[in-house]
Amino acid sequence: MDFDFTHYMLTEWRRVKAKPPASSLAAEAYQKRLAETSENKLDASDIVDDYYLNLLDWGSCNFISIALGNTVYLWNTSNCSTSELVSIDEEDGPVTSVSWAPDGQHIAIGLNNFELRTLRGGHRMRVGMLAWNDHILTTGGMDSLIIDNDVRVRAHIVETYRGHSQEVCGIKWSASGQQLASGVKALAWYPFQSNLLAFGGAEGNRCIKLWNTHTGACLSSVDTGSLVSALLWSKNERELLSSHGLPQKELILWKYPSMVKMAELKGHTSKVLFMAQSPDDCTVASADVEGSDHDTINCCTHTEALNLQLYPYYRM
């Protein structure tokens, strides 16, 4: 598969990490500079246009993994090179999820045929969500099951959770490994408070909510105006980044706990479905999907173009 991309090394963020100016003209200039530093794109095709999948991840090795149809590619962000990691047989594909292990040396790949790349059994339908907790790989499937897999042993299934009635589109372990959140796709544990969870709703509920998992109290709710596809907390600042589908097609930076909107990143031209954070917390990769119908003998034939962008993660 051919890649056609332009990649500019991100250095500007170090010179613009101060708080944006208050005046409207100065703020416009700041937003223009923000846009100029977000032109790092990897154009590809065959990404699956599906909100319920997890096709982008950034490992501690500083490689980005991206699933395009039946193939998983690696993008080395240090030298801008790409390589094919693995291709799946047609009867097993497409790839439905990718997730780097904490060590950055192993990657889990979920398939449409309800299997993992090397772990067999457990799910009866596609595996769309993956989450690591040390040596435990937790998987979520269209069969509504959540399964804990110990990747060190052959009999890998150690726990099965059956609380959901629909496809599991989001799972996330807390940093302590003591709590597992599941349900909506956009889930993010606050790094400075172990019992604080941010989650975002889909089309029917376009809010970002903050939840105290010990008391069950909803601490805050913000209507974003569009589908929330992913959430990322900064590991160094009290900031939350959200990605959005239609109609906004953007990334929004929020200040915690006030949840005041700090910046809007508008580089995408279509719904943003996937987002991943760099190991140093300075950059975010986000992917949108643009679909165009083609009249063929087969109905529902689409050609998608992936727009993968790298944004400097601003300290304000």
What does the alpha-carbon distance between residue 111 and residue 196 come to, in Å, rounded to a whole number?
31
The two beta strands, 146-150 and 71-76, are unpaired
pLDDT (0 to 100) of residue 209: 96
Q: DSSP state, 32?
A: H
pLDDT (0 to 100) of residue 118: 57
| Coil vs helix vs strand at 52 | coil
Quote the radius of gyration of the chain (alpha carbons, Å). 19
H-only helix segments in 18-161: 24-36
Q: What is the dihedral of CA 312, 313, 315, 316, to 10 degrees?
A: 90
pLDDT (0 to 100) of residue 45: 63
CA dist 191 → 30, 175, 199, 236 (Å):
28, 7, 14, 9
Domain count along the chain: 1
Phi, psi dihedrals of residue 173, rounded to the nearest 5°: -85, 145
Burial category of 218 from C-beta neighbours within 10 Å (exposed 0-12, middle 13-18, buried 19 and up): exposed
What does the alpha-carbon distance between residue 3 and residue 83 come to, in Å, rounded to a whole number?
10
Range of the domain at 175: 4-312
**pLDDT one-digit tens code per residue, 125-155:** 898 999 999 999 999 999 989 999 999 988 8
CB 148 within 8 A of CB 157: yes
What does the alpha-carbon distance between residue 44 and residue 2 come to, in Å, rounded to a whole number?
7
CB 249 within 8 A of CB 215: no
Q: How many residues does the chain have?
A: 316
pLDDT (0 to 100) of residue 289: 82
CATH value at residue 256: 2.130.10.10
**pLDDT one-digit tens code per residue, 217-246:** 999 999 999 999 999 999 989 999 999 988
The H-or-E segment that residue 6 falls in is strand 4-6
Number of H helices and number of E strands within the chain?
Answer: 1, 25
Distance of CA 287 to the CA centre of its chain: 9
Low-confidence ranges of the chain (pLDDT < 70): 1-45, 114-121, 202-203, 290-316
Which of 129, 213, 144 has its CA nearest to residue 176?
A: 213
